[in-house]
Amino acid sequence: MKVSILNKTFKLKRREFFLGILALSSFPKMALSDPSTIKHMMRSQFLGSDDAPIKIKEYFSLTCGHCANFHKNTLPRLKNKYIDKGKIQLEFVDYPLDRLAVIAAALARTLPSDEGYVKAIDILLQKQKQWAYSKKPLEGLYSIAKLFGVSSKEFDEIKKNIPLMQEIINRMEEESKNFNIESTPTFIINNEHKISGALSFKEFENKLLTLVKAKNS
């Protein structure tokens, strides 16, 4: 069952989650990918220094309109003021809310370098309306894939990579249990505090600083 990307808040109910897993069974089958390759694809992806005192996990779906809004309007300012200056490290955590988002996440994870993943999710969110909202979203997604040199054959293989997509779903479920993620985007600060919603930069900054000051007081 696809969660509407037009809803004001994205609530991922347990029933919808299991329906999402069942939807994976409709994907074409392929030979199992090598476990070490899957592990490499699922490596953590970051912006910012490992030495940053503030660690933020962002849970996002590539078909979520609010996530696109955050990446277009809030993240650039957060990056300029905090991430690039070594104050914040941001970790990207795939939290796909529908089948299309799972395939898009698999595409980003398949690109060989960390830089490729980060660039891919940036472009996918910047151009979200052009592919996720189109009449033929998979064709739109392939048009993005071609920007990274992905051939038609390679894109077909990505769409059939059940082990990778299952691992994305497995990690999504694990993270949901750990932090009670109910909507996207959601941000976990230093594994303790939660911020939810597509906030403006000022709103996000105010909430973040309030949580950090409360922690240090």
pLDDT, averaged per 10 consecutive residues of the chain (217 residues), comes to 36 46 43 75 95 97 97 97 98 96 97 88 97 96 95 94 94 92 95 93 96 70
Find how far residue 73's CA is from the centre of its chain.
16
Dihedral sign from CA coordinates of 197, 201, 207, 211: positive
Q: What is the pTM of this model?
A: 0.84
Is position 7 within any domain? no
pLDDT of residue 12: 44
Is position 5 within any domain? no
Is position 140 within any domain? yes
Counting beta carbons within 10 angstroms of the beta carbon of residue 174, is it exposed (0 to 12), middle (13 to 18) or buried (19 or more)? exposed
Alpha carbons 19 and 7: distance in angstroms, whole number? 19
Is position 103 within any domain? yes
Domain harbouring 180, CATH code: 3.40.30.10
Is position 6 within any domain? no
Is position 28 within any domain? no
Is position 196 within any domain? yes
Alpha carbons 66 and 92: distance in angstroms, whole number? 15
pLDDT of residue 7: 37
Quickly tell me which residue has 């932090």 as its tokens: 179
What is the count of structural domains for the chain?
A: 1
Is position 207 within any domain? yes
Structure-block tokens of residue 130? 């052009």
Hey, is 100 helix, strand or coil?
Answer: helix
pLDDT of residue 215: 60
Question: Where in the sequence is the domain holding 193, given as residue range(s)?
Answer: 14-23+33-216
Structure-block tokens of residue 66? 């609010």
pLDDT of residue 32: 40
